[in-house]
Amino acid sequence: MQGSRQIAPAAGRLGILLAGLGAVSTTLIAGVHAIRKGLAAPTGSLTQMGTIRLGKRTDGRSPLIRDFVPLAGLDDLVFGGWDIFEDNCYQAACNAEVLRRELLDQVRAELEAVQPWPAVFDQSYVKKLDGPNVKTGASKRDLAEQLRDDIRRFREQQGVERLVLIWCGSTEVYMEEGPAHRSLDAFERALEASDPAIPSSMIYAYAALKEGIPYANAAPNLSADVPALEELALQSGSPLAGKDLKTGQTLMKTMVAPGLKARLLGVSGWYSTNILGNRDGEVLDDPESFKTKEESKKSVLDHILQPELYPTLYDDLHHVVRINYYPPRGDNKEGWDNIDLVGWLDYPMQLKINFLCRDSILAAPIVLDVALFLDLAMRAGMSGIQEWLSFYFKSPIHRRDLYPEHDLFIQLMKLKNTLRHLRGEELITHLGLEYYD
């Protein structure tokens, strides 16, 4: 056994701040209250249901993850957040139409207590959206200071010991890293000058990191994935994670693609299409927001299949991703994948996947896990990029000179080995020769 890392206990309450109180956020908050009341199970959450094997297969030690590492308990969570609409979380959850009214009514008081604070919002970054609950300020730096005031006020009023901030707001337009993002110094000057290179989500990220609290991005927009904010995270000791929750179609892709590659089956085409009708779908109906999502969804196959190592199998792959806004489906997305495979002696085959999923039902448990693990990372003194949380994201933030790991099963192994490492347990390599010696 190696030495375990010092981890401060999860004492007191943990505040989860959500920038954007839409479908995902309200499904998370309602879910946590429903679970606390024993009305439902935390299905889909690794922190609540997952186990971790320790030692040899013959040892019979597989505790629950939440008994193995000190995580905040659901009873200790307090929620707050911002939105451009004034609806409280009960109204917002009713509008989102993800959860049944009968369940929402049983946690109505708790949801009504979460009233969104005015948001930092600029329509030039989310074209299809506009709302009244928005801050005004002399500059983007001033807006960041207002967010910091909200955070401090919440900390004081709720008596929370620790905080985490997660962007669950709409997908912003596609942006690339530019000079304003390259150093903290340049970023702060750009904030002062209200430079268009700083979208709203970056202002939230900056405010969180400046307050020394962990930040994650559930959406695909650039947000904290820039050198300036990585620098700030290291400076303020805050853990960082993102981007774009891995749910639905991409989750399936990162399960199936590693299997095809493992058997050295070629892929000549992968056509993915979706219909969805929630507000997220409406926002993605704008080509600039869609481009942000498309880039995030498309990158996974290249990294998993490694065409540079297997040119004959994957070099000519045609990968197409479409999302169509179709209101009758609401949050209940339907995805179709057609995969054109190539087998022995180049014989073609096809695989079809039709996934009738529920976006926010898949997303809520992973926002919970990300929040609890970021809080753990903070207490364990881990700052900056948390690559071990790649498991949860379509476009995992990673050190610039490393390629990201997209294979869901490698990501899970990395996550569990990080937990073993934190507790000084032996890492599991799955070698297994020792059982036969």
Instruction: Give Cβ neighbours of residue 62 (< 8 Å, ≥ 6 apart).
Output: 51, 52, 53, 54
Residue from 84, 143, 197, 256 in contact with ligand NAD (CB under 6 A): 84
Residues in the chain, total: 437
Closer residue to ligand NAD in complex, CB, 25/88: 25
Q: Which stretch binds ligand NAD (CB under 6 A): 7-15, 155-163, 207-215, 279-287?
A: 279-287
Closer residue to ligand NAD in complex, CB, 190/362: 362
Q: Which stretch binds ligand NAD (CB under 6 A): 33-41, 55-63, 65-73, 81-89?
A: 81-89
| Residue 408: other Cβ atoms inside 10 A | 22
Binding mask 324-363 for ligand NAD (x = CB under 6 A): -----------------------------------xx-xx
Q: Which stretch binds ligand NAD (CB under 6 A): 77-85, 135-143, 154-162, 312-320?
A: 77-85
Per CB under 6 A, 218 contacts ligand NAD: yes
State how far the Cα of 264 lies from the Cα of 421, in Å rounded to an integer. 33
184-192 vs 200-210: helix axis angle to the nearest 10? 120
Residue from 89, 126, 175, 378 in contact with ligand NAD (CB under 6 A): 126
**Residues of this chain, 133-152, that bind ligand NAD according to CB under 6 A:** none
DSSP state of 394: S
Q: What minimum distance in Å lies between the beta carbon of 133 and ligand NAD?
A: 8
Q: What minimum distance in Å lies between the beta carbon of 87 and ligand NAD?
A: 8
Distance of CA 273 to the CA centre of its chain: 22
Per CB under 6 A, 207 contacts ligand NAD: no
State how far the Cα of 118 lies from the Cα of 240, in Å rounded to an integer. 24
Residue from 10, 15, 16, 20 in contact with ligand NAD (CB under 6 A): 20
Question: Sign of the C-alpha dihedral, residues 34, 38, 40, 42?
Answer: positive
Per CB under 6 A, 169 contacts ligand NAD: yes
**Residues of this chain, 105-124, that bind ligand NAD according to CB under 6 A:** 119-121
- Asked if residue 207 lies in contact with residue 137, where contact means CB atoms within 8 angstroms, the answer is no
Please spell the DSSP secondary structure of 353-375, one letter per residue: EEEE--HHHHHHHHHHHHHHHHH
Question: Sign of the C-alpha dihedral, residues 288, 289, 292, 298?
Answer: negative
Q: What minimum distance in Å lies between the beta carbon of 128 and ligand NAD?
A: 10
State how far the Cα of 298 lies from the Cα of 4, in Å rounded to an integer. 38
If you search the block for the tokens 């050198």, which residue do you land on?
A: 227
Distance of CA 77 to the CA centre of its chain: 18
Q: What minimum distance in Å lies between the beta carbon of 364 and ligand NAD?
A: 8
- Asked if residue 173 lies in contact with residue 126, where contact means CB atoms within 8 angstroms, the answer is yes
Per CB under 6 A, 280 contacts ligand NAD: yes
Per CB under 6 A, 22 contacts ligand NAD: yes
State how far the Cα of 131 lies from the Cα of 129, in Å rounded to an integer. 7
**Residues of this chain, 354-413, that bind ligand NAD according to CB under 6 A:** 359-360, 362-363
Closer residue to ligand NAD in complex, CB, 199/239: 199
| Count of residues that interact with ligand NAD, criterion CB under 6 A | 37
State how far the Cα of 109 lies from the Cα of 252, in Å rounded to an integer. 36
Per CB under 6 A, 248 contacts ligand NAD: yes
Per CB under 6 A, 83 contacts ligand NAD: yes
Q: What are phi and psi of 121, to 5 degrees?
A: -145, 145
Residue from 244, 286, 337, 375 in contact with ligand NAD (CB under 6 A): 244
Distance of CA 89 to the CA centre of its chain: 20
Residue from 10, 14, 24, 107 in contact with ligand NAD (CB under 6 A): 24
Closer residue to ligand NAD in complex, CB, 3/132: 132
State how far the Cα of 179 lies from the Cα of 177, in Å rounded to an integer. 7
Question: Listing from the earlier edge strand, what are the strands of the sheet with 77-82?
Answer: 77-82, 14-19, 162-167, 215-217, 239-241, 384-385
Q: Which stretch binds ligand NAD (CB under 6 A): 39-47, 72-80, 106-114, 167-175?
A: 167-175
Q: Which residues bind ligand NAD (CB under 6 A)?
A: 19-25, 82-85, 96, 119-121, 126, 129, 131, 168-171, 200, 218-219, 244-245, 247-248, 278-280, 283, 359-360, 362-363
